[in-house]
Amino acid sequence: MNKNPTSTLKLGMARGVVLLAPAALGLSVFEYSANKVKKSVVGVGHADKDQVLMMVKMLLPTLSATGIRADAADALAVAICHAHHRKINFL
C-alpha cells in the first residue's frame, strides 16, 4: 500500500473524506483494526477471509442461502464487531 507515494496520498485523501462526511453531520465514527474485527467474529485475530465468511454465515444463518461474497461478509463482520464493542448508555 505504501510503495507508491501518489497512491498513498490519494488513499489518505479518500479516507479523510469518508471520515469527515458522517462527522460533519454529527454522526459518530468508529474505527476497528482488522485484527479486532477478526477476533470479535472468529475468535482469532489472524483469521483468513474464508474463516470470517464461514463465521458470518454461522452468526447470520439466513445469509447462508444467499451466496454472500467475502467482501460483503467483511462488512458484516465490522458491524458484528461494532455491536460487540459499542458502549450502551442506559437511562
One domain, residues 65 and 91: yes
One domain, residues 20 and 37: no
Specify the residue for cell string 460487540.
84
One domain, residues 8 and 50: no
One domain, residues 51 and 85: yes
What pTM was estimated for this model as a whole? Answer: 0.77
pLDDT along the chain (91 residues), means of 10: 82 92 92 94 93 94 82 94 81 57
- What range defines the domain where residue 21 resides? 1-30
Domain count, the chain: 2
The span from the CA of 67 to the CA of 24, in Å, is: 36
Report pLDDT for 66. 77
Could you give the dihedral angle defined by the CA atoms of residues 72, 78, 80 and 83, in that order, rounded to the nearest 10 degrees? Answer: -140
One domain, residues 44 and 70: yes
Report pLDDT for 86. 83
One domain, residues 66 and 83: yes
Region class of 44: left (phi > 0), else alpha (psi between -120 and 50), else beta: beta
Which of 77, 88, 79 minimizes the C-alpha distance to 44?
77
One domain, residues 48 and 87: yes
